[in-house]
Structure 1
Amino acid sequence: MPTSRYQLLVDRFAADIRAGRLQAGVRLPTHRALAQREGVALVTASRVYAELAALGLVSGETGRGTFVRETQLPPGHGIDQATVARGMLDLNFNYPSVPGQAELLRTALRNLAAAGDLEALLRYQPHAGRPVERAAVADHLAQTGLHVSAEQVLVVTGAQHGLAVAVLGLLQPGNVVAVDALTYPGFKIVAETHRVELAPIPARGQGPDLEALDALCRQRRVRAVYCMPTLQNPLGWVLDRPQRQRLAEIARQHDLILIEDAAYAFLVSDVPPPLAAFAPERTVYVSGYSKSVAAGLRVGFVVAPLRWVATLERVIRATNWNTPGVMTAIACQWLKDGTVARCEAQKRLDAQARQALAAQVLAGMPTVGHPSSYFLWLPLPEDMRADQVAMALMREQVSVSTAEPFAASAQVPHALRLALGSVPLGALRGALEQVRRAVGDY
């Protein structure tokens, strides 16, 4: 069977891009110009570009055209990179650490070994955690303004597992979930895996456009809202009390489930209570100790209304069977003896120091962030392509994330998300100076 004209065009463009004959950043002919040049229908030209976009070779940008992508940059850069090459300065992922954490673990393991109940931790645990562990989490949450019973707490294997538990337990494939137009990539992966549709909410000042959310709910059957009210990732906003009250009001009016991600909330003090305190009957609150203590401490928790607890517990059983006994015992001991609180206080100061340094190095650049967060958003000029800047930095041994992993809509802004929490503080200035030079070079 002869190869179609459409496939020949796709293959030719793909070969030229991969061979470097069409370089990253080159603007391709418009759909209409391509159709006229190649003697094909407009719909065929559009199909060619759609296929190239699906292959990750081009990107179409509303009002700007179709551009060749930087193919040497790993696909999904900023979320699929599980490891960073030796010598790379990592401004891509956040795994903040403070001095002395390894010694904390040594002490905890010694204490655990001497406690006398080690044998019990090696057996299967209750699916949602032991009552004493659930109570320890509830007591800690009370200090944040969220007062819940131990029965409402379910212990999970990290906050990412908690998000998956919430989605699998409370949503069905095909449900629509409203999210910020720029949102946490980990939730996008959960939604994609469960075949949940994400509907982006545009930003408005320091937060989502809640009236746009209300309008969306009137137009479509939205089932839930995923949000990060305190230190939104990647933009760093903190919703004030009126915004939280309005979001709770919209949720009640349209019978929405609220999924509140509080992974970074510990970094900000003197903030309104969690969203779960404003709409406790319909909010699932998810967090963990990977950011506040250590990335290897895969212990998190889900807080939910009592009517949903049994459903969520079944999902934990299906996805993980039970909580990690040894790690959960360590986490709860650290909750009780104040270790978690001390780590959180240290990291608040550490994040503030890193933000102050970033503000100094990147002075004059249009950064977006919060003075207590571990990340920074850097919009790029209109004529600058984020994939090219990211690739240039990678060649200089600096890893950054583009906006693509965070974008919930087809329109992806040209911007970088800079994670400030993983590079040693002594090396952070040099890494940020390289970012400044790379952006300046373009």
Structure 2
Amino acid sequence: MAQPRYKQLVDRLAADIRAGRLRPGTRLPTHRDLAVREGLALVTATRVYAELQEMGLVSGETGRGTFVKEALPRGQGIDLSAWSADTVDLSFNYPSSPGQTDLLRVALRQLAVAGDLESLLRYQPHGGREHERATAARHLASRGLPATVETTLLVSGAQHGLTTAAMALLEPGDVVAVDALTYPGFKLAAEANRLELVPIPAAGRGPDLGALAALCKQRRVRAVYVMPTLHNPLGWVMSATRCRDLVAIARHHGLILIEDGAYAFLAEGAPPPLASLAPETTVYVSSLSKSVATGLRVGFVCAPSAWIPKLERAIRATTWNTPAIMTAIGCGWMEDGTVARLEEEKRRDAAMRQGLVADILGPLKRVGHPCSYFVWLPLAQEVRADEVAMALMRERVSVSTALPFSTSAHVPHAIRLAIGSVDLATLTRSLETVARVIAERTY
């Protein structure tokens, strides 16, 4: 059977893009001009560009046109890793403090002579052993959370906590309100659980709560995923007033609040967590990944006691229990003050790195927090994020574009720099490269 003519055009344009005959950044004809040139109906020309966009070959930008995209590396900030041994990774944060390796050696030696070592080789309770849950609860309570043994569970990192919350508390097809720019890991959890994410625009230092209230009147919203303290990627800390207003909306509409506190330890003096304002409708998720080490897959979920059995079943369905050895080490470090000390060191380290960002990037527009491990760089109107990202990749610097963070049809031209994963000398050189590459494309 002969292929439809518009499909032939799609294949021809796709082949030209892949072969480099249409170079990245090339502006393609308008929908109307393409229709006239190829003898197509306007709606068919629109369909051609829609299929190319679905293939990841072009991007349509309101008011600017349709452009050939750069072929960004796999992942674009979701499957995050350095692309080669000589690539500087500014796409993913795994902050570390000096001496952490020695801390691990000491912890392993102490564990080796512990009296209950054999118990670590057995299955554990799904939400953690009672004394470990008690340790985690005390850790969370020190952050202002209403955490008890009965309301606290151990999970394999914050990503696992978010996934189990979605599995346990939501149904396929449920509508979840999220920030228009949000953590890519929650997007993956929502996709796996077939949830519908609806974006809420930003309004200053937090989500537009008026837009959320309006959405709740139009749709049956089931939950809100929110990062009130040190939002990733925008770095905001919501005010106490805005937190109370969000809680009021949640109570009025019967919403579940999924509160992500993965980076909250970096923001001193922040308002109390949402879970302390509305413990009956909030599930709070955090971990030791950023505050201690990403390889220490120990996280926490604090939730109303009525939700705990559902969450335990989700843990059983995914991991059965957290790795016992890592949990023992993590709990030991929470108890002896090591976690608190590492968090203080990382707050100072993040502030110093943000100082470098300010010094080197200078006049470039930046969005962030003075003690965070990332910075958001909105680009000038004439600058394309995928082109910047690929130019930096050629310079052996990996960054994230806005695409993995975006939940709306409009993806802003911006890049996110993760500044916590490299030494200061490397960070300095890499920031200088970022500043130069952006300056070369700005006019």
Task: State TM-score, norm by structure 2.
Answer: 0.98
Match of 2:55 in 1: 55
1:24 paired with 2:24, answer yes
After superposition, the C-alpha distances for 1:164-196 in whole angstroms (9 at most, x for unaligned) are 000011111111100010000000111111111
Residues 375 and 418, structure 2, Cα contact 8 Å, conserved in 1: yes
Shift of 1:283: 0.3
Shift of 1:81: 3.1
Q: Distance in 2 between matches of 1:154 and 1:432?
A: 40
Match of 1:325 in 2: 324
Shift of 1:148: 1.8
Shift of 1:30: 1.5
Q: Distance in 1 between matches of 2:425 and 2:395?
A: 18
After superposition, the C-alpha distances for 1:140-179 in whole angstroms (9 at most, x for unaligned) are 1111111221111110111100000000111111111000
Match of 2:356 in 1: 357
Match of 2:231 in 1: 232
SS in structure 2 of the partner of residue 373 of structure 1:
coil
Q: Distance in 2 between matches of 1:186 and 1:70?
A: 24
Match of 1:37 in 2: 37
Q: Distance in 2 between matches of 1:155 and 1:32?
A: 57
Of 278-287 and 45-54, more deviation after overlay is shown by: 45-54
SS in structure 1 of the partner of residue 412 of structure 2:
coil
Shift of 1:83: 4.0
Shift of 1:75: 4.0
Letter in 1 for 2:96: S
Residues 56 and 75, structure 1, Cα contact 8 Å, conserved in 2: no
Match of 2:175 in 1: 176
Shift of 1:236: 0.1
Match of 2:430 in 1: 431
SS in structure 2 of the partner of residue 203 of structure 1:
coil
Residues 373 and 418, structure 2, Cα contact 8 Å, conserved in 1: yes
Match of 1:207 in 2: 206
Q: Distance in 1 between matches of 2:75 and 2:107?
A: 37
Q: Distance in 2 between matches of 1:236 and 1:36?
A: 47
Q: Distance in 2 between matches of 1:178 and 1:367?
A: 26
Match of 2:366 in 1: 367
Shift of 1:426: 1.9
Q: Aligned ranges for residues 20-419 of structure 1 at < 5 Å?
A: 20-71=20-71, 73-419=72-418
Residues 76 and 404, structure 1, Cα contact 8 Å, conserved in 2: no
Q: Distance in 1 between matches of 2:9 and 2:440?
A: 34
Letter in 2 for 1:274: P
After superposition, the C-alpha distances for 1:238-276 in whole angstroms (9 at most, x for unaligned) are 011001100000000110000000000001111111110
SS in structure 1 of the partner of residue 399 of structure 2:
strand
Q: Distance in 1 between matches of 2:27 and 2:176?
A: 34
Residues 182 and 406, structure 1, Cα contact 8 Å, conserved in 2: yes
SS in structure 1 of the partner of residue 241 of structure 2:
helix
After superposition, the C-alpha distances for 1:83-133 in whole angstroms (9 at most, x for unaligned) are 431111111100000100000000000001111111001100001100001
SS in structure 2 of the partner of residue 312 of structure 1:
helix
Q: Distance in 1 between matches of 2:14 and 2:248?
A: 50
Q: Distance in 2 between matches of 1:321 and 1:84?
A: 32
Residues 376 and 419, structure 1, Cα contact 8 Å, conserved in 2: yes
SS in structure 1 of the partner of residue 198 of structure 2:
strand
SS in structure 1 of the partner of residue 83 of structure 2:
coil
Match of 1:3 in 2: 3
Q: Distance in 1 between matches of 2:425 and 2:41?
A: 58
Shift of 1:208: 0.8
Shift of 1:279: 0.8
Task: State TM-score, norm by structure 1.
Answer: 0.99
Letter in 1 for 2:44: T
Q: Distance in 2 between matches of 1:168 and 1:61?
A: 35
Q: Distance in 2 between matches of 1:40 and 1:232?
A: 46
Shift of 1:220: 0.8
Shift of 1:82: 3.5
Q: Distance in 2 between matches of 1:323 and 1:428?
A: 34
After superposition, the C-alpha distances for 1:357-404 in whole angstroms (9 at most, x for unaligned) are 101101111100000000000010101100001000000011111000
Number of matched pairs:
441
Q: Distance in 1 between matches of 2:74 and 2:35?
A: 29
After superposition, the C-alpha distances for 1:24-52 in whole angstroms (9 at most, x for unaligned) are 11111111221111111222111111111
Residues 230 and 268, structure 1, Cα contact 8 Å, conserved in 2: yes
| 5+ residue gaps, structure 2 | none
Residues 262 and 286, structure 1, Cα contact 8 Å, conserved in 2: yes
Shift of 1:323: 1.8
SS in structure 2 of the partner of residue 258 of structure 1:
strand
Q: Distance in 1 between matches of 2:230 and 2:80?
A: 23
Residues 146 and 279, structure 2, Cα contact 8 Å, conserved in 1: no
After superposition, the C-alpha distances for 1:271-310 in whole angstroms (9 at most, x for unaligned) are 1111101110000000101100001000101111001000
Shift of 1:76: 3.9
Residues 217 and 254, structure 1, Cα contact 8 Å, conserved in 2: yes
Residues 175 and 221, structure 2, Cα contact 8 Å, conserved in 1: yes
Q: Distance in 1 between matches of 2:402 and 2:422?
A: 20
Q: Distance in 1 between matches of 2:369 and 2:389?
A: 23
Structure 1 residues 372 and 425, CA gap change in structure 2 (3 angstroms): same
1:15 paired with 2:15, answer yes
Letter in 2 for 1:265: A
SS in structure 2 of the partner of residue 290 of structure 1:
coil
SS in structure 2 of the partner of residue 77 of structure 1:
coil
- Please tell me the root mean square deviation across aligned C-alpha atoms, in Å: 0.9
